[in-house]
Structure 1
Amino acid sequence: MARKLAVFNMKGGVAKSTTAYNLAVGLVKFKKQRVLVVDIDPQGNAGAALGIPIWQIDFQLKDVLQHKTPIAQVVVSTASGVDVVPSNILLAEEEIPISGRPGREMLLKKAIAPVLDKYDFVLIDCPPNIGVFAINALMASDGVIIPVDMSYLGLLGIQGIERALALVREQLEHPIAIAGVLATRYDRRNNLSKEVLDALTNHFGDKMFKTVIPETVKIREAPSHGQSIFEYDPNGVGAIAYRDLVNEVYKWQ
């Protein structure tokens, strides 16, 4: 059965999508895993970074959530070996209608159920909020990866993330686990990066991934070439860090 992980933070700019697609490619490339990325972020960045022309797709996640199209018909295979259920901004138009539907929190969980036996990992790229799509992603997942950028605002947002997870556990009765908290955009020349990392480590303890993702231009450039960091800059510090993350996530149960 697939291990299902949401990549979640309510703050934007924390390398959430970057982590989702690089982790997916790494699991395929280095661990020979079968990986599905579900892009429930209307920005569609994870699919776009993997080379999918998100404005030219015939079907997307919104069609599955509307019960118009089976999920198997929406899955797109990419050159990296990662399968993707893509989205674009049209998904955002469904947020209000979906919010009023009975059982709205379980739509994604039910939608992906028919294909779970085809994959070892399902990674769900969440939108940067706590709306109905993010709740769907968390309810469909066994665990959550929380990328946090090394900024004061990134640290400030931790309380909100923990409240969101408490809501899912207590009000929706879904025992989602923290698979790991990931420090991203770390600049070793910057004292603030060191202070935020220390604060996160003190707060989360062994829930912190040992991997730290550095701030590098190459990581930001790779999506414009439709490549993961492993193809774009295979020997760089970003590729080395994301490979370390692959090793950690692969061991998670």
Structure 2
Amino acid sequence: MAKILTITNQKGGVGKTTTCVNLSASLAATRKRVLMIDLDPQGNATMGSGIDKHQIESSSYEVLMGEKTAEESIIKTECGYDLIGANGDLTAAEVELLQLPRREFRLKMALLPIQDRYDFILIDNPPSLNLLTVNALSASAGVIIPMQCEYYALEGISSLVGTIEKINKRLNPMLRIEGILRTMFDPRMSLTKDVSTHLVEYFGDKVYRTVIPRNVRLAEAPSHGLPALQYDKSSRGSLAYLALAGELIRRTEQEQRDRKNDQKTEQESV
């Protein structure tokens, strides 16, 4: 069954979409079966995957509204992963979801029939807490939080952690922080190093060892409709996301081993 991960931060411009696209491509490059879901009405993750958001026949909007199934909405990309895209239609979903039953669980229910087809499902979100983001969090096992190492980012992450705790208590008891990802990292800046140190002190091993550097190729790739791995596979940004994919896979495999050991111990105690 797929591990479903939401990539979110209520602060804009921290690399959410860049991370979703490039992590999806990097996981796919390691032969993992990956589905990326674009839940941002801007559709940047869709365009960054080489898919014209204006031409898609079925998007995440139709999936949330129950007009199409998730399987009917999957698009095969040339980036190695599957996609359920998004466009401006999704803006209406924020209002229309209010009128629907189980409005917080529409995405979760839609994904149930296809979860076994993938190893990872990654969800890109808008930079706000609305019903789209709540749907993503309710469907996910973990949250990856991309953030810049700057002062205001620390304030924003405390608010996001509070939101995750509320969702955990009220809607999704399985939800937890999967990891904190330091993006646009510049080790030459003393503030960057200070904030990074504070993050590690507070979140411990939740902070990924991999850091994503400031990289021109990462910024250029979306305009070509490509992940950085396909645009320039030798760039520092591409290599960093490959390293992140490896770290995520190792963590996931360790979790699975720990879970099996716990189950074995429980059976032996009975």
Alpha-carbon offset, residue 203 of structure 1 = 1.3
Read off the aligned partner of 2:2 and give its amino acid letter.
A
Alpha-carbon offset, residue 139 of structure 1 = 0.8
Alpha-carbon offset, residue 241 of structure 1 = 1.0
State how far apart, in whole Å, the 2-side matches of 1:207 and 1:65 are. Answer: 31
State how far apart, in whole Å, the 1-side matches of 2:234 and 2:240 are. Answer: 10
State how far apart, in whole Å, the 1-side matches of 2:217 and 2:25 are. Answer: 16
Q: How many pairs align?
A: 252
Map 1:126-205 onto structure 2 (within 5 A): 126-205=125-204
Give the match's secondary structure for 1:122: strand
Residue of structure 1 equivalent to 2:3: 3
Residue of structure 2 equivalent to 1:208: 207
TM-score computed with the length of structure 2 as normaliser? 0.90
Deviations 1:130-186 (A, max 9, x none): 111111101111111110112222121011111110111112242212111000011
Deviations 1:98-134 (A, max 9, x none): 0232311110000111111111110011111111111
Residue of structure 1 equivalent to 2:224: 225
Alpha-carbon offset, residue 39 of structure 1 = 0.7
Read off the aligned partner of 1:15 and give its amino acid letter.
G
Give the match's secondary structure for 1:148: strand
Give the match's secondary structure for 1:181: strand
State how far apart, in whole Å, the 2-side matches of 1:252 and 1:139 are. Answer: 22
Unaligned runs of 5+ in 1: none
State how far apart, in whole Å, the 2-side matches of 1:36 and 1:232 are. Answer: 20
Q: CA RMSD in A?
A: 1.1
Is the CA contact 2:8–2:124 (under 8 Å) kept in the aligned structure 1?
yes
Is the CA contact 2:43–2:88 (under 8 Å) kept in the aligned structure 1?
yes
Give the match's secondary structure for 1:89: coil
Residue of structure 1 equivalent to 2:257: none
Is the CA contact 1:179–1:252 (under 8 Å) kept in the aligned structure 2?
no
Greater share of helix: 2
TM-score computed with the length of structure 1 as normaliser? 0.96
Residue of structure 2 equivalent to 1:61: 60
Alpha-carbon offset, residue 58 of structure 1 = 1.3
Unaligned runs of 5+ in 2: 253-270
Give the match's secondary structure for 2:212: strand
Residue of structure 1 equivalent to 2:38: 39
State how far apart, in whole Å, the 2-side matches of 1:44 and 1:248 are. Answer: 27
Alpha-carbon offset, residue 233 of structure 1 = 2.0
Read off the aligned partner of 2:19 and give its amino acid letter.
T
**C-alpha spacing 1:246/1:70, structure 2 compared with 1 (3 Å):** same
Alpha-carbon offset, residue 246 of structure 1 = 0.5
Give the match's secondary structure for 1:251: helix
Deviations 1:20-63 (A, max 9, x none): 1101111111x201100011111111111010000111111111
Give the match's secondary structure for 2:177: strand
